[in-house]
Structures are given as C-alpha cells and as structure tokens.
C-alpha cells in the first residue's frame, strides 16, 4: 500500500483531534529527512556537501494557545510532554529536547512566542542517519516563524536549528542536515559551500537509476563521542598546518599536498583524518562536474572512494556498513555505494539500476540476514522539496 504525504498528514491531524478535542486554528507543516550523495564530515571543516531532502518527513499539526504552556504530543509514541515557556529544564524524554532547544534559541534571540500545542510524527526512520532530529527542529521553528511572524529567513531557521542541536541537545553537528531539510528541492541535489554558505542545485536524474538506502539497524554507542573526537582531530590538524600556511583557518583551506608535506608532524591518526577530509572536499567538486556531464558511472566510483576513506582513514564506519558495501562491489547493477552520515551505524546509500532494484534488495536482505540475523530494511527514496506548510 502506498502511503502518501497527504495520508500521513491526515493521520496526524486525526491524532491531534483525539488528543486536544478540536481542530481549531490548526496548521500543518512538513520537514523532510535528508540523504547525502557525497561529502561526508566535510561540513564542520568548512568544505562542500551534496545532500538532498527525501520523501520521508516529520509533520507538525500545531495551533497557538492563550496561555504560556507548550503541549507536545509525540503521536507515534503516544507520549505527551508539557512545559511552561519560562521553564525549559531538560526532561527525561529525549524526544522533547529538540523542541525545547528550538524554544530556547527563540528566547536567546529575544524573539517572542506564545504557548502552543502540537501533535507531531512521520515516517523518517529514527537512528538510521536520515537526520530525523534536524527535520524536527526545522519543522517546529518554521511553523513558529509562520505563526508568530518572527521574520526569520530560511538560513536563520537553519542556523538556529543547528544551534539548538549544539547547545540544548549537546551534539556538535555541522550545518548540513538542517540546511538540507530546509532547502531541499524536488529531483535536485544541493551543493553547499559550508564556508560561504553559497549553494547550487544540480538536477539528479532518476530515470535509469534509483537511490536505495540499506539500514544496518544498528547505532553503535561510539557515535556521538567519536564524532566530537573527529572534530577535535581536525582542529588539531588545522593548527599544525597553520604554522606553515597562515591562510589555513580550517581544513578547507589546506590541500592534500600540504597534508602530505607535514605527515610526520601531524602523527598517524591526525594525518589520516586530514588526508581524508582534504581529498573528500575535492571529491565533491569532481563529483559535481561528473553530474553535470551526466557521467553517473564515474560519480558512483567516487562514492566508493568516499566509503573506503571513511572506513580506513577517517575510521567512522563499522563492520555492518562495510559488509553491506562489500556485497555491492561486483554487482553490475550498482554504480556506487557507501556509508552515509556520521557513521558507526545507520544506512548505506546505493545507486542502483532501476530494473534491478528488486533483485538488489532481495540479495542484500538475504546476505544481511545470514550474516547478522537482522531483517534489513531497504528504502527507495525520492528527492522532494524541503520544509514547508501543507495547505489542506
Ligand atoms: C552528521 C552531522 C552532520 C555531518 C554528518 C557527517 O549527520 O549531523 O552535520 O557532519 O554527520 O557528514
């Protein structure tokens, strides 16, 4: 059965009604999860990324209240958390941290909102590396911006959502996820320069090939601590390279040759991190040129290069991800495959010939079941528009 966007929005509206007893003054907003074709761990190094927003999204059905209470109803979990606008202390329910983080950012900016009540939910798989958290943040802030006329533009929404994640949730993420959720465009990937914030849409042809995500269904506990460690290693590399070239303010400003020249001083681990990042930043540029030429086979090879770099040099992969990528290596129906997102679990992203997609999924599911006794979820994703209001 096909579940459309309108079906999901309607089901959350129904849940809102059962929770709050009326639908007075409601509006519905949608914010998608994201994929990233290439350019991993480059965002916080001021490099390039190539994400897109997909047809898995979160939805907020929301209305203002007369008082200063906020009532959050997590429709998929059937759980409620309420708080007053003057008490943003951290509750045990971690799902509420994103919304509290947004309210905190609004207050830090000196902007005013009243109370509100909302039912939210959707179909972004949680913990799969599709950034359900960024979708939650962008969706709520976009909604409050519309309801209370906060005058924020899309970049304002992206930056405040990222800060909510950095400051309230405590994850030192870069800007890619929130940007992709807010700026996505149907059938296009977006190259974002994370230093200047200039961006460009590239059409992504899905006539002959589809994007299939294979979800390891694991999230190793290392994920957020190692993420923060990688950031520190990149900063260490930057400060060493800066001694030789004062223009190096981040790894974006360094070349693979500069990294190579200072290999010994960088030390093994930092050297390999810097090598990967400087090469990956260049790889996004090369991959975009290939897209423009319509050369998807070579684009796919770059995806494999990214995976091997993340596996051996940046060391953020895990056995389950490597296993899934290995299964595709001699498969002529797969142009490219790699781990996607922060790493240590989540999904691989695969570029697969359209007519071979069913056989591909079947093969991957069988292999994963045999190896890990896990039924592998596979998602065919379509690239859709970013955050917006759904007008019923
Ligand atoms: C996570 C972070 C992003 C980005 C990716 C890796 O998804 O939230 O900012 O750093 O990892 O590319």
CB 162 within 8 A of CB 178: yes
Q: Which atom of ligand 1 is nearest to the CA of 40?
A: 12
- In the reported structure, the alpha carbon of residue 152 is separated from the centroid of ligand 1 by a whole-number distance in angstroms of 24
Same domain, 161 and 253: no
Domains: count for the chain? 2
Nearest CA to ligand 1 atom 9: 174
Mutation to probe ligand 1, out of 234, 341, 343, 347 (largest number of atoms < 8 A from CB): 341
Smallest CA-to-CA distance from 335 within 318, 309, 354, 317 is with 354
CATH number of the CATH domain containing 201: 3.30.230.10
**231 CB-contact burial (10 Å; exposed 0-12 / middle 13-18 / buried 19+):** middle
Predicted local distance difference test score (pLDDT) of residue 127: 85
Q: Report which ligand 1 atom has the smallest distance to the Cα of 171.
A: 8
**One domain for residues 217 and 242:** yes
CATH code for the domain in which residue 293 is found: 3.30.70.890
pTM of the model: 0.96
Range of the domain at 226: 209-381
137 Cβ inside 6 Å of ligand 1: no
| Domain co-membership, 65 together with 128 | yes
Query: If you measure from the C-alpha of residue 41 to the centroid of ligand 1, how many angstroms do you get, rounded to a whole number?
Result: 6
Q: How far apart are CA 230 and CA 250, in angstroms?
A: 14
Please tell me which residue in 7, 78, 177, 268 is annotated as part of the active site. Answer: 177
Q: Whose CA is nearest to atom 1 of ligand 1?
A: 342
Residues 249 and 162 in one domain: no
Centre of ligand 1 to C-alpha 205, Å, is: 25
Nearest ligand 1 atom to the CA of 36 is 12
Q: Are residues 18 and 164 in the same domain?
A: yes
**Residue 388 phi, psi (nearest 5):** -170, 175
Residue 264 shares a structural domain with residue 200: no
In whole angstroms, what separates CA 146 from the centre of its chain?
23
Could you read off the pLDDT tens digit of each residue along the chain, which spans 392 residues? Answer: 458 889 999 999 999 999 999 999 999 999 999 999 999 999 999 999 999 999 999 999 999 999 999 999 999 999 999 999 999 999 999 999 999 999 999 999 999 999 999 999 999 998 889 999 999 999 999 999 999 999 999 999 999 999 999 999 988 899 999 999 999 999 999 999 999 999 999 999 788 999 999 999 998 777 778 998 999 999 999 999 999 999 999 999 999 999 999 999 999 999 999 999 999 999 999 999 999 999 999 999 999 999 999 999 999 999 999 999 999 999 999 999 999 999 999 999 999 999 999 999 999 999 999 999 999 999 999 999 999 999 96
Determine whether 87 is an active site residue.
no
Expressed in angstroms and rounded, the spacing between residue 98 Cα and the centre of ligand 1 is 16
Q: Pairing relation of β-strands 48-49 and 188-193?
A: antiparallel
SS3 for the chain is CCCCHHHHHHHHHHHHHHHHCCCCCCEEEEEEEEEECCCCCCHHHCCEECEEEEEEEEEEEEEECCCCEEEEEECCCCEEEEEECCCCCCCCCHHHHHHHHHHHHHHHCCCCCCCEEEEEEECCCCCCCCCHHHHHHHHHHHHHHHHHCCCCCHHHHHHHHHHHHHHHHCCCCCCHHHHHHHHCCCCEEEEEECCCCCEEEEECCCCCEEEEEEEEEEECCCHHHHHHHHHHHHHHHHHHHHCCCCCCCCHHHCCHHHHHHCHHHHCHHHHHHHHHHHHHHHHHHHHHHHHHHCCHHHHHHHHHHHHHHHHHCCCCCCHHHHHHHHHHCCCCCEEEEEECCCCCEEEEEEEEEHHHHHHHHHHHHHHHHHHHCCCCCEEEECECCCCEEECC
The answer to whether residues 167 and 218 belong to one domain is: no
Q: What is the pLDDT of residue 205?
A: 78
Instruction: Check residue 223 and give its pLDDT.
Output: 75
Residues 347 and 239 grouped into a single domain: yes
Strands 116-122 and 69-74: parallel
Kindly state whether residues 9 and 129 are assigned to the same domain.
Answer: yes
Do 167 and 302 lie in one domain? The reply is: no
């Amino acid at each position: 059965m096909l579940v459309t966007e309108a079906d999901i929005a309607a089901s959350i509206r129904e849940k809102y009604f059962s929770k709050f007893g009326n639908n007075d003054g409601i509006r519905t907003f949608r914010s998608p999860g994201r994929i990233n074709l290439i350019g991993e761990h480059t965002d916080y190094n001021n490099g390039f990324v190539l994400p897109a927003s997909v047809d898995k999204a979160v939805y907020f059905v929301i209305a203002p209240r007369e008082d200063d209470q906020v009532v959050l109803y997590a429709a998929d979990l059937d759980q409620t958390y309420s708080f007053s606008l003057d008490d943003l202390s951290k509750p045990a329910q971690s799902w509420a941290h994103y919304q509290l983080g947004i309210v905190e950012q609004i207050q830090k900016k000196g902007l005013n909102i009243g109370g509100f009540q909302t039912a939210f939910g959707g179909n972004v798989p949680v913990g799969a590396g599709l950034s359900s958290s960024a979708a939650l943040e962008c969706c709520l802030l976009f909604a409050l911006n519309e309801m209370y006329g906060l005058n924020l533009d899309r970049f304002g929404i992206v930056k405040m959502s990222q800060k909510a994640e950095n400051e309230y949730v405590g994850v030192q993420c870069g800007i890619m996820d929130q940007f992709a959720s807010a700026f996505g465009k149907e059938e296009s990937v977006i190259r974002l320069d994370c230093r200047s914030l200039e961006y460009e849409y590239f059409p992504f042809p899905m006539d002959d090939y589809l994007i299939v995500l294979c979800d390891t269904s694991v999230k190793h506990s290392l994920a957020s601590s190692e993420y923060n460690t990688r950031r520190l290693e990149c900063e260490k590399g930057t400060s060493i390279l800066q001694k030789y070239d004062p223009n190096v303010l981040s790894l974006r400003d360094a070349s693979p040759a500069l990294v190579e020249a200072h290999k010994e001083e960088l030390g093994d681990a930092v050297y390999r991190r810097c090598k990967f990042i400087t090469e990956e930043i260049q790889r996004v540029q090369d991959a975009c040129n290939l897209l423009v030429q319509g050369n998807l086979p070579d684009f796919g090879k770059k995806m494999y290069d990214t995976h091997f770099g993340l596996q051996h040099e940046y060391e953020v992969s895990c056995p389950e991800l490597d296993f899934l990528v290995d299964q595709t290596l001699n498969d002529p129906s797969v142009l490219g495959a790699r781990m996607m997102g922060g790493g240590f679990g989540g999904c691989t992203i695969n570029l697969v010939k359209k007519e071979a997609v069913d056989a591909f999924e079947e093969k991957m599911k069988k292999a994963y079941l045999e190896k890990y006794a896990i039924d592998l979820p596979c998602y065919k994703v379509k690239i859709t528009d970013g955050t917006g209001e759904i007008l019923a």
